[in-house]
A = this chain, B = another copy of it.
Amino acid sequence: MAKRAARKERTHALIIEEAARSMRLHGTRGVGLSVLMKRVGRTHGGFYAHFASRDELVAAAIERMFEATTKLIDRYLVTGDPARGLFDFIDHYLSDAVRRHPERSCPIPSLSPEASRMTGLARERFSAGIDIVHTAIAKSLRAMGLDDPESLAQSVLFEMAGAMTLARVAVEEGRGAELLRVARDQVKQRLGLDALGQE
């Protein structure tokens, strides 16, 4: 049977899921365990049947966040035409939907400065997550035959991360969406991808 084990596993996954969600939205310090466990439908004392400490949860949540980003990479950057894939990846990564929903988007634009203040496993996982994105972009650029794909990929990732971060800060209505449009155009243009948009 293992009915108990199955329920525990489900609870465990739900806690991580909810942490990944609300920490991207409010920052890693922005959610209390009490609220979090209530959202999962459990009482907050039960948390310690799953994690030894809050820090351990943060590390688990970061891992979970990058799994979502990895899925995105798999969708756009692993198979198919590299130029077309990268074009679509950029459109997705810098979409207005992503701007409005950090809770289900790549953690890099929402949590990087916090990550730079972390230590141990959480920090390492975040850093490793960034490397995964960089490597995937570099691979596409190399397949496209571009010069120095490693450096160019870094540059592109910097711009995309910065663009989403700053687009989220904009207060004026429509300004965030406008900044993202600029970023998409600029990134595509310098990768020679702008012609693809006219098909």
Interface on A for B, CB 8 Å cutoff? Answer: 26-27, 29-30, 108-117, 123-124, 126-127, 130, 151-152, 154-155, 157-163, 165-166, 168-172, 179, 182-183, 185-187, 190
Contact = CB atoms under 8 A, between A and B. Distances in A.
Contacts of A169: 112, 115-116, 123, 126-127, 130
Copies, count? 2
A26 B117 contact: yes
Nearest to A109: B113
Contact of A166 (B30, B108, B186): B108
A47 to B, nearest CB: 22
Contacts of A170: 127
**Cβ-closest 5 pairs across A and B:** A162-B162, A158-B162, A155-B186, A116-B168, A161-B162
A166 B161 contact: yes
A154 B186 contact: yes
